[in-house]
Amino acid sequence: MKIRCQWAEANEHEIEYHDTEWGVPEHDDRKLFEFLVLEGAQAGLSWDTILKRRENYRKAFDGFDFEKVAAYDDKKIAELLQDCGIIRNKLKVRSAVNNAKVYIIIRNEFGSFDAYLKTFLPDGKSIQNSWKSMQDIPGKTELSEKISKDMKKRGFNFVGPTIIYAFMQAVGMVNDHVVDCFRYEECRKMK
């Protein structure tokens, strides 16, 4: 039997996500935008709630094509707010559109969103933690606070330090698999 991080044992969605994506260093700007939108949508909800709606989000937000999302007008936003397949929170939907616009500005400045994120990492590489239990893992860190502050200054919404730390975990900026999880070593080697 495989040992996993405790949070990933509730259902098949979580197991699949944990075993294949969570903590894997992600460098594709479209996937990074997807996680940014999903983590913002998750605020105040369980991650499982978002995972169950992930395919709906992909359809609703044009496969997370940030160029298309940045061009959404009030009519498109109104359509999204009627889509029962996503979280129909006006602030979160508007935030996704706003964040797509800021995302493009950052890509233009740094060449990619991935390049922007790497400026916050030591030597541009993932941080390898060595937590023994889920209780040891913080909800935010000094680094997530620093990134959050910079992103807010640039105009992003729904990017508080806790959301940003969850984003960092999801996209492998930090390896927060507990040390006895079978994915810990696999993700550590991907840094």
> What's at 96, amino acid-wise?
A
* 39 has catalytic annotation: yes
- Give residue 70's identity as a one-letter amino acid code: A
Q: Are 88 and 82 in contact (CB under 8 A)?
A: yes
- Residues for the chain: how many in total? 191
Query: Among residues 17, 21, 145, 186, which one is catalytic?
Result: 17
Q: Write down the number of H helices and E strands in the chain.
A: 10, 2
Task: Report the distance separating Cα 133 and Cα 135, nearest Å.
Answer: 5
| Annotated catalytic residue within 14, 22, 47, 57 | 47
Report d(CA 91, CA 105) in Å as an integer.
Answer: 21
84 marked ligand binding residue = no
Residue 27 annotated in ligand binding: no
Give the 3-state secondary structure of residue 12: helix
Active site residue 47: yes
The one catalytic residue among 34, 39, 103, 165:
39
Known catalytic residue: 109?
Answer: no
Binding residues: 5, 18, 177, 181
Binding residues for Zn(2+): 5, 18, 177, 181
- List residues with catalytic annotation: 17, 39, 47
